[in-house]
Amino acid sequence: MNWLINDRFGMFVHWGPYSLAARHEWVKSREKLTDAQYQPYVDHFSPDLYDPAAWARTARAAGMRYAVLTTKHHDGFCLWDSDLTDYKAPRDLVEPFVAACRAEGLKVGFYHSLIDWHHPEFPLDGTHPQRDVRPIPERDVSVYRRYLHGQVRELLTRYGTVDYLFFDFSYAGRSEWWGGKGPEDWGSEELLAMVRELQPDILVNDRLGIPGDFVTPEQYQPSAPMPGLWEACQTLNGSWGYDRDNLDYKSADLLVKMLVDGVSKGGNLLLNVGPDGRGRIDPRATALLARIGGWMELHERSIRGCGPAEYHPPADCRYTRRGDRLYLHLFSWPLRHVHLDGLAGKVRYAQLLNDASEIRFVSTDPDQEAQNTRMGGQAPGTLTLELPVQRPDVLVPVVELFLE
Ligand code: GLC
């Protein structure tokens, strides 16, 4: 099993000058800012509290096992000391990130934007902050393509092993933006070949517009397993970059349910944080991650190394499985009994995962009808578990079933 499937849970980090505007990482496009209007954020990007070791510790404590940093977002600003531009942080911020991940035992990932709203030869399109400029200036995408390939080469040759690469994104033919770009513009085939040559074991996403190693549903949970490896990327509050006044936070239990739901369908969760302009993961994010970490501490067994199970779960439940263990996640807590299709005779022992307290089986005769104090028999093959009335005080209770 490759490490990505095993790990299941990673941290996405969106960070750059837009963190100072603190109103979404697309601020330059949304507000059609010129380079000059965006420049104050670049000039004041001076993250005095940048402590990637703290980020890595936060990720690990949340139960995450890999981290993915925006080396460059759509604004074109580079977090590493590129030789190919001056549009970059005053010091290399990627190197200490990589070192911190390694020290914490996290796999290292880079997000790299294909879109670039600063490069002078990136042709205007419907996403571009200067999309209304007329006449549309002549630009030569091949010059930008060389720059893109050169920068990816830098990123994959300077920091040792890079485990994961998230390109973002291709939009040729997408109706919401004119002038969309795709594999021809990026030189995707050639770029991917170079990536594989420089980092033979790297896992690359699917957003070069040609098949990669995994697909990347964004801000939705697939309703069924996606083809091949997949990883949902999700935000805490709808924004990727630090968004000070946005209070649309998901609850900790919803976030855990999203993680469980993904694993039950064979997928991963890449959960985002947007550190602020000083480099700190803000207290709202930290508090949510700590609660997820509290759950993971007790329930890691039902996530790590787990995948889908062949059984059909009861309503409001999700199964995950690893070897002879089947994990029943109860998104809502029923009164005293839960009936498991097709599991009669297949389970040797059951316990609550949070405290290893035994969960006993109830036997009912399939021919017996429900009547006053007597529960009805269930369809043949059903295993009925007897649950305590008190729901365990954890974000999502889990019953661990030891299969015969
Ligand atoms: C996008 C957005 C973006 C974010 C990303 C994460 O396509 O443009 O701002 O970085 O997806 O998946």
Distance 213 CA to ligand 1 centre (A): 18
Q: CA nearest 263: which of 316, 296, 214, 304?
A: 304
- The angle, 0 to 180 degrees and rounded to 10, between the axes of the packed helices 188-198 and 141-157 is 10
Which of ligand 1's atoms lies nearest the C-alpha of 207? 7
Output the CA 10–ligand 1 centroid distance in Å.
16
State the distance from the centre of ligand 1 to the C-alpha of 273, rounded, in angstroms: 13
Q: Calculate mean pLDDT across residues 340-346.
A: 97
pLDDT tens, residue by residue, 42-56:
999 999 999 999 999
Alpha-carbon distance 10 to 33, whole Å?
A: 32
State in Å: Cα 234 to ligand 1 middle. 10
Cα–Cα distance, 10 to 8 (Å, whole number)? 7
From-to residues of CATH 3.20.20.80 in the chain = 2-302
- 197 and 149 Cβ atoms separated by less than 8 Å: no
Identify the CA nearest to 274 among candidates 25, 61, 106: 25
Question: Looking at domain 317-403, does it have CATH number 2.60.40.1180?
Answer: yes
Ligand 1 atom closest to the CA of 272, numbered from 1: 6
Q: What is the atom index within ligand 1 of the atom nearest the CA of 241?
A: 9
16-33 average pLDDT score: 98
State residue 278's pLDDT score.
98
Residues 214 and 205: beta-carbon distance below 8 Å: yes
Instruction: Classify domain 2-302 at the CATH class level.
Output: alpha beta
Q: How many angstroms separate the alpha carbon of residue 51 from the centre of ligand 1?
A: 24
Query: What is the per-residue pLDDT for 363?
Result: 83
Whose C-alpha lies nearest to ligand 1, atom 1? 168
CB 112 within 8 A of CB 159: no
In the structure, which protein residues have their CB atom closer than 6 angstroms to any atom of ligand 1? 14, 25-26, 168-169, 218, 233, 240
Between CA 254 and CA 6 the distance in angstroms is 22
What is residue 365's predicted lDDT score, i.e. its pLDDT?
A: 83
Question: What is the structure's pLDDT at 362?
Answer: 94
Taking Cα atoms as reference points, which of 346, 385, 343, 348 lies closest to residue 363? 385
Q: SS3 string of 80-100?
A: CCCCCCCCECCCCCHHHHHHH
What backbone phi and psi angles, to 5 degrees, belong to 185? -65, -45
Enter the tokens of residue 58. 């936060």
Question: Which residue's C-alpha comes closest to atom 4 of ligand 1?
Answer: 240
Average pLDDT, the chain: 97
Residues of the chain with CATH 2.60.40.1180: 317-403
Give residue-wise pLDDT tens across range 352-394: 999 999 999 998 888 899 999 889 889 999 999 999 999 999 9
For ligand 1, atom 10, name the residue with the nearest CA.
240
Q: Which of 332, 351, 350 is nearest to 391 (CA)?
A: 332
What residue ranges in 217-336 does DSSP mark as E strands? 229-234, 267-273, 317-322, 325-330
State residue 366's pLDDT score. Answer: 84
Ligand 1 nearest-atom number relative to CA 218: 12
Judging by DSSP bridges, how do beta strands 9-13 and 66-72 pair with one another? parallel
pLDDT in tens, 151-205: 999 999 999 999 999 999 999 999 999 999 999 999 999 999 999 999 999 999 9
122-146 pLDDT per residue, tens: 999 999 999 999 999 999 999 999 9
Calculate how far, in angstroms, residue 357's C-alpha sits from the geometric centre of ligand 1.
Answer: 43
Pocket-testing residue among 240, 243, 246, ligand 1, by greatest number of atoms within 8 A of Cβ: 240
pLDDT at position 5: 95
Tell me the two tokens of residue 264.
């039950």
Q: How far apart are CA 331 and CA 319, in angstroms?
A: 11
Instruction: Dihedral sign for Cα 267, 273, 274, 279, please.
Output: negative
Give the angle subtended at the CA of 186 by the CAs of 181 and 189, to the nearest 5°: 125
Centre of ligand 1 from the C-alpha of residue 114, in Å: 11
pLDDT value at residue 1: 55
| Residue 84 and residue 44 in contact, taking contact as beta carbons nearer than 8 Å | no
CA angle (285, 3, 267) in 5-degree steps: 60
The tokens of 17 are what?
């000058």
Q: How many angstroms is it from 349 CA to the middle of ligand 1?
A: 44
Ligand 1, atom 2: nearest CA belongs to which residue?
168
- Residue 24's closest CA among 246, 222, 336? 246
Q: Give pLDDT tens digits for 283-325.
A: 999 999 999 999 999 999 999 999 999 999 999 999 999 999 9
